[in-house]
Amino acid sequence: MHLISLQENLKKGLNIVGHATSKNINLPILNNILIKAEDGNIELVSTNLEIGISYKLRGKIESGGQFTVDSKLITEYVNLLSGGEKVDLIEEKDNLLVESGNYKTKIKGESAKEFPLIPVISKDNPYVCKSSDLKKSLENVIFAVSTSENRAELSGVLFSFYKDQLNLAATDSYRLAEKKLNFSKKNEAEELKVIVPAKTAQELLRILNNFSVEDDESDEVKIYLSENQILFTVDSVDLISRLINGHYPDYKQIIPTQSKTEILAERSELIRAVKAAALFSKTGINDVTLHFLKNKISVTAFSGSSGESRTELTAEISGSENEITVNYRYLVEGLNNVEGPRVKISVLNSDTPCLLKPENSEDYLYIVMPIRQ
């Protein structure tokens, strides 16, 4: 195998696929990146058996073949080479020669025969959305995924596919975030719901950050599904992942449909007031209480060890006076992900979840469970 690529292209590809490698004592080849030069295409591939990433690399093939080398070593070496220079990658027995300008090195590698096969998903009838939309939507929900291993189905993001819309949802049973985004093209496939592991969603976000072009209409993500795998195609990258088996809870049942108090507040002011009160919340409980009075919100917290705090801010409030005690961390994270200068809050009573939404949009909602006194 002998291929030639520009340092910038090789560097970008190695940095993208390198995140899927895995330190595995039983299968050390998972530390490696597979370099393929076949059928006129150059491809970099990595896997940790949970996810696989492939990147189509721009370059010239002098002779085809496949070879694997340690991901960290080749990535760090190529990152040190001069930008704009051509890099030659040449397989020689059990080594990969890397030559660029006056830099020449020999990296020990392994035959590609032992490298795990990456599953293949048929690229028919994709779901297509703008990468900037998917990136923003994932950021709006992923923080609410459960980090506990007790309920595997909550350790991922629920993707609900409809003909013209994708709904993303995440919950750890203390709070819930849901975001809706439209597909670029209508899809006539049957409606489906799948649970994508949080690590896959985080990896997808990292890839989208590499390619996101806000104003480019061709800036698309294509999503393909099989029985237990999902494939995201972004520009020259394919990210394939297993899905989480399990039944995601019917979270629609806990979305409040009634309220006694409706609040419209300045989002940044409310975040500041909550953070100020949080300094006096009880350790381990993180409790702050929001009192909804006539045209004002009073945010309070009390700790026997540190003192107490009360902050008042004006707001538009309709309905009866009310109050709710919540975990301030959950509340602030929700407020940070509501877009726009003002947030709508709906409260029934102190024992039911409070609902947060943007002022002028129905495509995002966030629910925080109360701390019962």
Q: Does domain 2-114 have CATH number 3.10.150.10?
A: yes
Give the total residue count for the chain.
373
- Taking the C-alpha atoms of 286, 292, 298 and 300 in order, what is their torsion angle to the nearest 10 degrees? -30
pTM over 0.75: yes
Q: Domain extents for the chain?
A: 2-114, 127-251, 255-368
Q: Return the CATH number of the domain spanning residue range 127-251.
A: 3.10.150.10
The whole-angstrom separation of Cα 321 and Cα 207 is: 47
Q: Please name the residue that has the structure tokens 């020259």.
A: 236
Cβ-contact 136, 212 below 8 angstroms? no
Query: Helices H, strands E: what count in the chain?
Result: 6, 26
Question: pLDDT per position in the chain (373 positions), as tens?
Answer: 999 999 999 999 999 999 899 888 788 999 999 999 998 999 999 999 999 999 999 999 999 999 999 999 999 999 999 888 999 999 998 999 999 999 999 999 999 999 999 999 999 989 999 999 999 999 999 999 999 988 999 999 999 999 899 999 999 999 999 999 999 888 887 889 999 999 999 999 999 998 755 545 458 999 999 989 999 999 999 999 999 999 999 999 999 999 999 999 999 999 999 999 999 999 999 999 999 999 999 999 999 899 999 999 999 999 999 999 999 999 999 999 999 999 999 999 999 999 999 999 999 999 999 998 6
Same fold, 2-114 and 255-368: yes
Domain 255-368: CATH class, spelled out: alpha beta
The whole-angstrom separation of Cα 228 and Cα 121 is: 10
Instruction: State the CB neighbour count (10 A cutoff) for residue 147.
Output: 8
Beta strands 103-110 and 60-63 are unpaired
Beta strands 51-57 and 237-242 are antiparallel
